[in-house]
Structure 1
Amino acid sequence: MSTPEPENDMPQPPANRRGAPTLVDVARAAGVSVSTAGRVMRDNGWPVDPTMRQRVRETALQLGYVTNILARTLRAGGPAMVGLVAGNMLDPYYGEIAEAVTRHAEAAHPMMAMVCNMQRDPLLELKYCRQLWEHRVAGLILAGGGFDQVTHRDELATILDQMASSGVVVTLLSPRELDAPQFCVDNRLVGEMAAAELIKHGHRRVGIAIGRVQNLVRRQRLEAMMAAFDAAGVRHIVLEPILAGAPEAAVSDALAKNRDITGLVASTHMISMGIINEVQRVGLSVPDDISVVAIGNAKLLEWSTPRLTHIDLNLEACGHAALDFIAARVSGLAQPPEQMILPRLVLGDSVIDVRALHGRKATT
């Protein structure tokens, strides 16, 4: 009994093959050599008869074939993919980093950036590092954030060392006590700048909303802020529970117990938005009653009411610098040096000079 013909004329992959179709399948179905099919699919300008080119492309489309970029990368030895592990993609902070890295990879380098969302889970960060390594990325950018960077530090250091030994160029967008070049702002300077803005405007009793200090970034910022306030004779309290699940309760509790507080420093843009809402909820206002300085540079800070004075962490420059470093190292060019990116103060409407305010109240 003869086998019935297919109901349509679509080229068919070999009956005994399972999984994705290969270039060999495309060549066989199109009636061309594998080298010709490869030239068409690479589309690198190699002369191929237009009719044959069209037949190969249509056949590839019908079979569902796509070029195996990973295999090509392994053969050529060139940079194709860079892994970016971001802390939490629901946070606009990491969205800005991902935007900067992916756009720069497309515009300035022959690279594709693979973005992995670790959801602030250090175990997931470890998993993604291993998976990116298995996918033979040319480089890795770790853009962690406000999560526990202590408990699994040794495990992460081990896998990063192994990746580097295998040729992966590892970079950091924050200080993490790991043996890899870092491209970020000076977080002690960030803390000093935030404190200086309140000191300059006459605040003598302030609060610091920093959260649990489980990573080097927060520790550096907190130490710098406390040192600056101490040097200026400014009394300060640390609102440590701010990220433990109830930021509003921490703010209202601090304001109730410390009625002389006139200024707050928020360690992230998300916390700063919560502070504004809570200050207003308890019948006070920003900045007339409480001045707020935020750290971060998400667009939310500029769209808030009032517009927040904040320390811009220059995330775009950090992402670009890390990617440029990876590209230079992989391509064998002179690599740019590890660098510290400068933060900048962006003035808004959330800080008031309490000396002028007290003067106005005294005359009313």
Structure 2
Amino acid sequence: MNLDDHSHQAARARVTLHDVAREAGVSKSTVSRMLDERLPKSDSATAQRVREIALRLGYMRDVSAAALRRGSTGMIGVIVPRLTDTVMAMLYEALAKAAARAGQFTIVATTDDEPDADRRAAEALLRRGVDGLILATAREGSDFTYELAARGVRYVLALRHNGSSLAAVGDDQLGGYLATRHLIDLGHRDIAVLTGPGYATSARGRVAGYHQAMQQAGLSVRANLVVPSTFSIESGAEAAAHLLALPQRPSAIFAINDNTAIGALSTLVQHGMAVPGEISVVGYNDIPIVRRLPTPLTTVRVPFDQIAAAALDLFMAEDVTDADRVRAVAPTLIPRATTARLQE
């Protein structure tokens, strides 16, 4: 038997609402109402009998047909730089779970954080019939989101924002402030920051929080302690090597994310630096591996589940006030073993 024979046989064997209604002796609309998981579950005798008959006959709700009747597919496209980045993988998993709770399904495309790849990824997802997009790839200066809006494509930004679109983010300035304030409270004054890429508002917000904490404490920022980086382990290692080559080394490093912190730690260890005895390090995001490092990393925890829930809420909302267009979720400082009081 070929595949067409199988599919024809499956189509003939598919149990419909009509089949369940005929067996139960009720109308099709009654069966539809009793089996709709989005409605409050009825415990009436009729509802119980309908569910028992549906189970016995092997009825399965045709989600795609129901979505088409509503004018939607129930699919949401998610665009992230890469899934090899633990932060993006955690965000996508959180989005997938939040979508499932809302009766939606997510599919993902990656861009490797290349500017024009956003458009290609979006087109690929839209051709597959997604109802809209959640993007974790917003870049400063890009007009891509304006193109989406002009085409009437529903979209929400996550983790990064552009200041005008609907967005669910962490409060990055608060997180950068908490990380730097923690080091200041431990007595550190020469605190370096590994800045991350300038096109990402998440990185810029954390650097702004660093400057806020330093200014509030009356501490000047040495220009050579503000070191450019990306979000990668390699850039963290290179930035730490730059800091170690300075005539006056910092006593602490705030890395813009956990990957750059891990890279910095690798360089410090290779150079025989004791962490936190000689230098303290703080990361950002609290990815799972950092608590399992030989010296567990002090970091700032980002509540990805809350960001995902806020993104889905914005995506599903029919009307959003101007004051609610950007939802920022508060992060939490997680002190561990890579930070200690400065020894004078």
TM-score by length of 2: 0.77
**Structure 1 equivalent of residue 47 of structure 2:** none
Equivalents in 1 of 2:243, 2:271: separation in Å? 12
Q: Give ranges in structure 1 of 5+ residues lacking alignment.
A: 1-7, 14-19, 58-66, 359-364
Q: Which residue of structure 1 aligns with residue 135 of structure 2?
A: 142
What is residue 286 of structure 1 aligned with on the other side?
275
Which residue in 2 is equivalent to 1:250? 239
Q: How many residues align?
A: 313
How far apart are the structure 2 equivalents of 1:88 and 1:194? 26
Q: Distance in 2 between matches of 1:184 and 1:121?
A: 21
Structure 2 counterpart of 1:17: none
8 Å CA contact retained: 1:269, 1:300: no
Find the partner of 2:105 among 112, 116, 132. 112
String of CA shifts for 1:145-179, please: whole Å, max 9, x gaps: 7xxx246x11x12332035x25x2x2111343254
Q: CA deviation at 1:103?
A: 1.7
2:289 to 272, 285, 300: 300
Q: Who is 2:330 aligned against?
A: 342
- Output the CA distance in 1 between the equivalents of 2:13 and 2:105: 33
Which whole-Å CA distance do the structure 2 matches of 1:11 and 1:279 have between them?
60
8 Å contact from structure 1 (residues 207, 261) kept in 2: yes
How far, CA to CA, are the matches of 2:333 and 2:98 in structure 1?
Answer: 25
CA shift for structure 1 position 79? 5.7
Pairwise CA distance, 1:246:
4.5
Quickly say closer, same or farther: Cα 1:214–1:258, change in 2 above 3 A.
farther
Give the conservation status (yes or no) of the 8 Å contact 2:257–2:283: yes
Q: Is the 8 A contact 1:109 1:327 kept in 2?
A: no
* Aligned equivalent of 2:206: 221
Change in 2 beyond 3 A, CA 1:317/1:32: closer
Which position in structure 1 is the counterpart of 2:182?
197
Identity %: 19
**Residues in 1 aligned to 2:300 and 2:13: alpha-carbon distance in whole angstroms:** 62
Shift of 1:214: 2.1
Q: What CA RMSD, in Å, does the superposition of the two structures yield over aligned residues?
A: 3.7
Contact 1:242 1:251 in 2 (8 A): no
Seen in structure 2, the aligned counterparts of structure 1 residues 350 and 33 have a Cα distance that, compared at 3 Å, is: closer
**In the alignment, which of 120, 140, 150 is matched to residue 162 of structure 1?**
150
Q: CA separation in 2, counterparts of 1:34 and 1:87?
A: 42
**In 1, Cα distance between the equivalents of 2:125 and 2:199?**
25
The CA distance in 1 between the partners of 2:215 and 2:247, in whole Å, is 18
Output the TM-score relative to the length of structure 1. Answer: 0.73
How far 1:274 sits from its partner (Å)? Answer: 0.9
Q: In structure 2, list runs of 5 or more residues that go unmatched.
A: 22-30, 36-49
**Is this contact kept in 2: 1:194–1:311, CA < 8 A?**
yes
Equivalence map 1:1-364=2 (5 Å): 8=1, 12=4, 25=8, 30=12, 69=64, 73-78=67-72, 80-106=74-100, 108-144=101-137, 149-150=139-140, 153-154=142-143, 156-163=144-151, 165=152, 168=154, 170-177=155-162, 179-232=164-217, 233-236=219-222, 237-241=225-229, 246-329=235-318, 337-338=324-325, 339-354=327-342, 357-358=343-344
How much does 1:201 deviate? 0.8
Do 2:156 and 2:166's aligned partners in 1 also have CA atoms closer than 8 Å?
A: yes
* CA-CA distance at 1:284 after TM superposition: 0.6
User: Quick one: distance in 1 between partners of 2:209 and 2:252?
Assistant: 17
> Aligned equivalents of 2:121 and 2:146: distance in 1?
14
Question: CA shift at 1:297, angstroms?
Answer: 2.1
Amino acid at match of 2:281: V
Residues 68 and 239 of structure 1: CA distance in aligned 2, closer, same or farther (over 3 Å): same
**In 2: Cα distance, 1:78 partner to 1:207 partner:** 49
* Higher-Rg member (1/2): 1
Q: Which amino acid in structure 1 is aligned with residue 292 of structure 2?
A: W
Distance 1:110 1:33 in 2: 22
